Chain A
Amino acid sequence: MSQDHSAPAVTPIALGDLSKLTVPTLPSLTTDAPKANGLWSSNPVFSYLNDVYITIGEHRKSLGLTNPGTIENLSKEVTRDVFLNQYFFSGLRADLNKAFSMAPAFQTSHTLSIGSNVLPAYAFSALYATDDYFVQGNIDNDLSFSGRINYGWDKHNISKVTLQLANGQPSMVQLEQDYQASDFSINLKTLNPSLLYGGFSGVAVGSLLQSLTPKLAVGLEAMYSKQAGPSPPESAVSYVGRYNAGNWIATAQVQAQGAFIASFWRKVSEKVEAGIETQIAASFKQVTDPLMGTPIGFEPVFEGQTTIGAKYEYRSAVFRGQLDTAGRVSAFLEKRVLPTVSLLFSGEIDHFKQTSKLGLGLQFESAGNEQLLMMQQGLIDANGNPVPGAPQL
């Protein structure tokens, strides 16, 4: 390719013979490498800067760093995988999920619930996901709506929009941009941004997590918030650290409001994971006069809570159990009784307050077409071929 280009340029052509001159009609598809003696690299300042940039880049590669994940997922292994807080529910519930296609994924879900003060009586949600974007919407019987759109520009950049709208309640919109490079992650997000009420109002959060060694990552998160109106803006900076040693992960966070959170996760065996999290928060509490009830000053309050939990994965069931220093013992069991039916059980006893909560649920998977129906029942695989050992049709 390069020979073809250079050959006509060096052969001298008679001045009048323009037809022999090869004039490229289309710009070359291959971009030229920077010229060694071009203006940008030949001047001493830029060549020095280029050298430094390339050296730093090579040195960074030689460190063998990996992407540390995001600050949002800093202690995900403990708080979301092992602990059952986000799975816990009370009362009775039924989930009816219906899949229409697998790639791209399209699924609807109906959730019915009784006796819970958190879950709505009925909620419908629809999800559609392809390789580069993901759209999900959820609406309940009070017409409270929440929606999410994630769009991946390439494998490093993801934009996210989250919407929450409800009748008679303030709406919420969050715009988020994730940038995950080879050894660091940057996340920028803003909640209810507005420029209409005298400058910026809303919340803006920026965070950076950087790998220092293949196992250790440190980061910080800066938050700025300004309410519309005369109230002064607030800002806060939190610092985080994460050490990932393969089968155990330790994380620590120092939050600007005076809280310290540390967590430790360990893979005990192939099917068992355990986690512990400690939170210590220092805050100021108003002291009131015992007789008059008027505030007379402030006293520092230290509050701490530790939670320890474990997760067991069985062949057709997942069990999570946890215990905390506020006197709560809770358990969550998810058991697949049929290929398309799962049973959920969740329970919590608060020994200090002498209260308890109980939740029972059923999860049904159904399909919108014949092939998916057979796939869900384990008769055929994703390519439509019969699974060996499955009962004959």
Chain B
Amino acid sequence: MSGAPTNKYQISLSDESKERIIKLLEYSKTIAHYGFIPFVLYLGWSSTPNKPSLFNLLSPFPSA
């Protein structure tokens, strides 16, 4: 059972392109890891009418 039939649905990729995909996934992980929160802050900042400064965005104290 573990022979040919399982290979039928397998994507055949060369080791080189496999490595490339893994590397690409690693990069996108790093981007998501450090870029996601700045992205959320940017989304929020751009939709807020009074455009708070970076310090106001990051400080926990009221800034009115």
- Contacts from A to B (Cβ < 8 Å): 96, 98, 100-101, 104, 106, 108, 110, 124, 126-128, 130, 135-137, 139, 143, 145, 147, 163, 165, 171, 195-196, 198-199, 364, 366-370, 372-373
A-side contacts of B64, CB under 8 Å: 367-370, 372-373
Size category of the B interface is 20 to 34
Do A126 and B21 touch (CB < 8 A)?
Answer: no
* Cβ contact of B41, chosen from A126, A145, A196, A366, cutoff 8 A: A126
Total A-B residue pairs with C-beta atoms closer than 8 Å? Answer: 95
Q: Determine chain B's interface SS by DSSP, over half rule.
A: helix
Q: Which of B23-64 contact A (CB under 8 A)?
A: 29, 32-33, 36-37, 39-41, 43-44, 47-50, 52, 56-58, 60-64
B-side contacts of A100, CB under 8 Å: 44, 48, 52, 57
CA distance A366 to B53 in the complex (A): 16
- Assuming the contacts A368-B63, A369-B64, asked whether A147 and B32 have C-beta atoms less than 8 A apart, the reply is yes
* Cβ contact of A128, chosen from B33, B44, B50, B58, cutoff 8 A: B44
Query: Which 5 pairs show the lowest CB-CB distances between chains A and B?
Result: A106-B44, A96-B60, A366-B62, A126-B40, A370-B64
B-side contacts of A370, CB under 8 Å: 64
- In this complex, what residue of A is CB-closest to B62? A366
Do A106 and B47 touch (CB < 8 A)?
Answer: yes
A-side contacts of B44, CB under 8 Å: 100-101, 104, 106, 108, 126, 128
- Assuming the contacts A100-B44, A110-B60, asked whether A165 and B32 have C-beta atoms less than 8 A apart, the reply is yes
- Assuming the contacts A366-B62, A368-B56, A373-B62, asked whether A136 and B50 have C-beta atoms less than 8 A apart, the reply is no
CA distance A368 to B53 in the complex (A): 10
Instruction: List 10 interface pairs A-B (beta carbons < 8 Å), by A numbering.
Output: A101-B47, A137-B39, A147-B32, A165-B33, A171-B29, A198-B10, A199-B10, A368-B62, A369-B49, A373-B62
